[in-house]
Structure 1
């Protein structure tokens, strides 16, 4: 077997990635700037909720996958970018579920409880359930079903890339190719996944934050959810309270 010159090989990979990144920037600099600004929003959420939950490392791990997804997509690795995007979605919601149950969290740490998307979607203790909204932020209950449906759709669409189903082959090209339409679809999905996670983080934590924290960080909610009337009314009430 003839071994590759690993230095030359990796340099070729780097050159290809740099070329793809240049094309990415030239075909959507504004959208990618927005997505990367979302990473800063997630870091701010970590600083806000860090003292409130035992499982903050779960959130940190999930949030880093959103950044990884952006990096992978910008360098032309669309299929693995969907792997990271799905991880961000499913483990952010799973972390929110476990943040309310020390028993479940500690069983998960011990390996006695596995991640279960069915739990995230269907269980009455899940962050996506109406019962959860009624307990933590009743004002958002009317919208929680809509965002649960969004989460299910995004999980399903990201999973198409994980499982390699036939219909996604037309959407994922080789790293040598640059396809604006495929990248545009990825950006739309990434934006929606981020908004879904933001909605459920807000639902879980807003009522536990004091007025000063709400006022200082209202952009984390309003920039992404301000188009929703119940969110807007709630935030106006907290800012004026």
Structure 2
């Protein structure tokens, strides 16, 4: 409890930002609750909750591990939703998630062929968003697999480390935003108008600087960077 109190007291602004993003993610999961992959989304959401608790409790390696699990499962389910046969094999345990396949520039979630079918408005943003996705995954992996630089940073006992807590919160923010962008790319155009209304606030809050989101929301795009 002492650790949690210190972590929350020292990072109140950052924590509020993470919780705001998490609430927006929950809105997306509500809009997608009828999808076949909804169960995987909910499971990943629980992983994020565990990651947050671990980060606030000083269990830093576990915090990064659960954060990566959240990212893998959410983005993996989003990608495999367009490959029903493979999705069913994944759910039944006959196929493992392939991060290489998900991030493939030829056929992955941000490949040009995929975006042309689901969200051509985001084609000009594919390099930037894929970069955000892979960077978050890579940093989590460095903590999980005992990278020398990160291993030296981790305390040998449960004790508060402000630098690690702040990094986790920063990566959590970028992870949540990256996953919501993936959900936008894959699902927004398929949602009914009432369901779009559930998630439009999150798009305007976090992606109104992107041409893709502004086009999808019907906002003016003149003078906005792609």
Query: TM exceeds 0.5?
Result: yes
Does the Cα contact within 8 Å between 1:130 and 1:145 map onto a contact in 2? no
Matched, 1:75 2:57: yes
Output the CA distance in 2 between the equivalents of 1:150 and 1:105: 24
Matched, 1:89 2:41: no
Does the Cα contact within 8 Å between 2:121 and 2:215 map onto a contact in 1? no
Match of 1:106 in 2: 88
Does the Cα contact within 8 Å between 1:50 and 1:56 map onto a contact in 2? yes
Q: Which runs of 5+ in 1 are unaligned?
A: 1-17
Higher relative contact order (CA 8 A, sep 6+): 2
Question: Which 4+ runs in 1 deviate beyond 4 A?
Answer: none
Output the CA distance in 2 between the equivalents of 1:216 and 1:103: 29
Does the Cα contact within 8 Å between 1:140 and 1:203 map onto a contact in 2? yes
Q: Structure 1 residues 23-32 or 217-226, which shifts more?
A: 217-226
Does the Cα contact within 8 Å between 2:24 and 2:199 map onto a contact in 1? no
Flag the structure with larger Rg: 1
Map 1:142-161 to 2 at 5 A. 142-161=124-143
Output the CA distance in 2 between the equivalents of 1:38 and 1:57: 20
Shift in Å at residue 39 of structure 1? 2.6
Post-superposition CA distance 1:45-73 (Å, at most 9, x none) = 1110122x212111111122122111111
Matched, 1:31 2:21: no
Pick closer, same or farther for the CA change 1:229–1:175 going to 2, 3 Å. Answer: farther
**Of residues 193, 196, 204 in structure 1, which corresponds to 2:178?**
196
Post-superposition CA distance 1:208-236 (Å, at most 9, x none) = 12334334431121222122233223312
Post-superposition CA distance 1:107-132 (Å, at most 9, x none) = 22333211111111116442232221
Shift in Å at residue 135 of structure 1? 0.6
Shift in Å at residue 237 of structure 1? 4.9
Q: Secondary structure at the match of 2:155?
A: coil
Matched, 1:45 2:28: yes
Shift in Å at residue 20 of structure 1? 0.6
**Of residues 24, 37, 59 in structure 2, which corresponds to 1:55?**
37
Pick closer, same or farther for the CA change 1:145–1:49 going to 2, 3 Å. Answer: same
Shift in Å at residue 198 of structure 1? 0.8
Pick closer, same or farther for the CA change 1:150–1:216 going to 2, 3 Å. Answer: closer
Q: Which runs of 5+ in 2 are unaligned?
A: 221-226
Structure 2 length-normalised TM: 0.89
Output the CA distance in 2 between the equivalents of 1:71 and 1:58: 20
Output the CA distance in 2 between the equivalents of 1:200 and 1:144: 11
Output the CA distance in 2 between the equivalents of 1:222 and 1:98: 26
Output the CA distance in 2 between the equivalents of 1:158 and 1:64: 17
Structure 1 length-normalised TM: 0.84
Q: Secondary structure at the match of 1:170?
A: helix
Shift in Å at residue 190 of structure 1? 0.8
Output the CA distance in 2 between the equivalents of 1:70 and 1:209: 29
